[in-house]
Amino acid sequence: MKGLFGKVLLIDLSNEEFEEMELPEQIYREYIGGYGLAAKLIYENTPKKYDPLGYDAVFGFFPGLLTGTPAPMTGRFMVAGKSPLTGTWGDSNCGGYFGPEIKKCGYDAILIKGMATSPKYLALIDDNKQIFEADEIWGLDVVEAEEKLKKIHGKVQTAIIGSSGEKLSLISGIVNDKARIAGRSGFGAVMGSKKLKAIVLKGNKKLEVANKELLLSLTKEYNDRINSAPLGVITAYKTQGTTFGNMISFLSGDTPVKNWGGTKEDFPNIIKISGEEIDKYKQKSYNCFSCPIHCGAIIKVPEAGLEETYRPEYETCASFGCLLVNDDLMSIFLLNDLCNRAGIDTISTGGTVAFAIECFENNLLSKNDTDGIELKWGNSGAIIELVKKIIKREGFGDILADGSKVASKKLGKGEEFAIHSLGQELGMHSPKYYKSLGASYAFDPTPGRHTSATLDMFVQGPIRTPNGLFEGITFPKKFKRKGEEDRYEAEKIVAAIYQFTNCVGLCQFAWFMQKYPLFELIKAVVGWDLFSQEAIKIGQRIQTLRQAFTLREGVNLINNKLPDRTYDMNYLEDYKRYCEKIGWNPENGYPKVETLKNLNLEYVIKDLY
């Protein structure tokens, strides 16, 4: 096979065994890579209704089909498995250099099962596979652990959990490149439950592509267009990264304020945490593998005692800023650094702190409950103190360390202030602004995320323009009109192609920039003549399998309901129309038998019917 190694590595921590699983090319044609390949392999290698923190849990790291090649903006990988936070299919997208290193080790994915009896870390160094005791790095933060591992093993790529993952916080993630975090779905806890502190990679394999000359030509052409782009979205990403949205999203009404219960008037000093203000501290930009944008930045903040740290993303600024009515930029820098080092999701952490503050403000909690912390809106010192307690699972922080849903149940009060979807705090974009986001938050197989396929968000890019985003993808004209057939046809196209591009390894931001040579690059790398209609069908297969997994695990998403303050439209009706369009039963969200057969998913029928 060209562009593929045709095998994945399965690691059994219980027996300390490594097994190479060879896969036929047809599996890749049907599931591509990323969470498509993950859904196939994890579905078939786990029992029904298993404990995501138990012995039977299987999770893994899945780079995209094009990851590891020069193809622009394809350095992404997925961490995937069952989420301990929501009980559904879980996945978390991440960039940096870890995903490409999996390919350099000669694998298309790494799967992990079983449990170690004591803290361990995995090392795949060239052709040597070993499991080491992790006593010396257990308890270290992510940055400290990475630096220690590099002293031992040299120039390597790592994926590490911090103290939050070690302590099985359900809102913890997995960190690579010191500050790139697969933060959603709670996979830090999954890795921690297996007593796996880190994975260390250094590969020496080269991927043989189908047409190297064409690949390099397509890459150069796209990168040249990116680098010569006029002022606009591309230059904004290059200059300020996602923080360029701090002002735009807030002023448009997209950013939630005061735990989703406030308005723009409740946060008059947005300028204090704007991208322009943050940019004053930038030392240099950096990028993910194969990306011409360089949207990341290393910053220096002497006022906060941070000599070298990483620029917070929009989501972090919104969750620790607007959501908490906190305009203290220094505190946001500190909170971002704390969360990166601890390996904990900033969206869920900010949302959980917002829950606690609103409970306190409404006299459901007192200082006796909060270890003496006075939780008031905008009290940055109290916010920092509380986040430190959450990271350590100390005192009141232990109650909050698994998110707002669990916290409200432990406290027996404040449920109306816990803003989540099946336990996962909502992303920092509002369904009142992006109307289709309500259905995404409630009903995507991985609920609560803003990075799911959302029509009204993704049509901001060139997909709806005459030249389109991807060759052969035509877009309905009346997609904005609720109730129109065109809208649900557009939702079907966006959802399917988004699943596909996730599995290719393409960064979501590419959707907002310019026409992308998707199918041409696939031809150059793996040699497949793959076109738009087949890509749509593959995307529907992947979305349907993720849905089937969630149903198999006993979660019927159709019964899920968002907190009232987060939406202003009938998102359930929108979802039912979408289900009709893609061949799912609109009354219960179950894929129809004929749909499963059409998508070559016959093997899940026995689990659903």
- pLDDT, one tens digit per residue, over 474-533 is 888 888 777 789 999 999 999 999 999 999 999 999 999 999 999 999 999 999 999 999
pLDDT of residue 464: 87
| Same structural domain, 413 and 453 | no
Check which CATH number belongs to the domain holding 81 and give it: 3.60.9.10
Percent of the chain with pLDDT over 90: 96
Tell me the pLDDT band of 466, cut-offs 50, 70 and 90.
confident
For residue 522, tell me if it sits in a domain. yes
Instruction: Report d(CA 537, CA 522) in Å as an integer.
Output: 16
For residues 142 and 340, the answer to whether their CB atoms sit within 8 Å is yes
Is 80 exceeded by the pLDDT of residue 307? yes
- pLDDT, one tens digit per residue, over 76-133 is 999 999 999 999 999 999 999 999 999 999 999 999 999 999 999 999 999 999 999 9
Domain boundary among 391, 418, 445: 418
Instruction: Report d(CA 308, CA 585) in Å as an integer.
Output: 52
pLDDT of residue 528: 97
- pLDDT, one tens digit per residue, over 443-459 is 999 999 999 999 999 99
Is 90 exceeded by the pLDDT of residue 156? yes
| Same structural domain, 414 and 442 | no
CA 351 to chain centroid: 16
For residue 1, tell me if it sits in a domain. no
| Same structural domain, 194 and 239 | no
| Same structural domain, 338 and 399 | yes
| Same structural domain, 311 and 396 | yes
Higher pLDDT, 511 or 464: 511
Check which CATH number belongs to the domain holding 460 and give it: 1.10.599.10
> What is the phi-psi region of residue 346: left when phi exceeds 0, alpha when psi lies from -120 to 50, beta otherwise?
alpha
| Same structural domain, 100 and 36 | yes
For residue 211, tell me if it sits in a domain. no
Burial class (CB in 10 A: 0-12, 13-18, 19+), 264: middle
For residue 183, tell me if it sits in a domain. yes
| Same structural domain, 506 and 554 | yes
Tell me the pLDDT band of 587, cut-offs 50, 70 and 90.
very high
E strand or H helix at 381? helix 380-392
**What's the mean per-residue pLDDT of the chain?**
97
| Same structural domain, 408 and 475 | no
Mean pLDDT of 23-35: 97
Indicate the range of 30-44, 364-378, 452-466 predicted with least confidence: 452-466
Mean pLDDT of 289-316: 97
Domain boundary among 387, 418, 449: 418
Check which CATH number belongs to the domain holding 349 and give it: 1.10.569.10
For residue 597, tell me if it sits in a domain. yes
For residue 220, tell me if it sits in a domain. no
Domain boundary among 187, 202, 217: 202
Mean pLDDT of 269-280: 98
CA distances from 348 to 295, 326, 402, 505 (A): 23, 16, 9, 25
Reported residue count of the chain is 609
CA distances from 398 to 51, 350, 565 (A): 21, 15, 27
For residue 279, tell me if it sits in a domain. yes
| Same structural domain, 454 and 566 | yes
Q: Both tokens of residue 493?
A: 């196209």
| Same structural domain, 194 and 315 | no
Higher pLDDT, 47 or 460: 47
- pLDDT, one tens digit per residue, over 322-359 is 999 999 999 999 999 999 999 999 999 999 999 999 99
For residue 214, tell me if it sits in a domain. no
> ∠ at Cα 304 (300, 305), nearest 5°?
75
| Same structural domain, 196 and 338 | no
| Same structural domain, 388 and 497 | no
Mean pLDDT of 419-423: 98
Report the domain count for the chain: 3
Is 90 exceeded by the pLDDT of residue 577? yes
pLDDT of residue 52: 98
- pLDDT, one tens digit per residue, over 57-90 is 999 999 999 999 999 999 999 999 999 999 999 9
The boundaries of the domain holding residue 582 are: 437-608
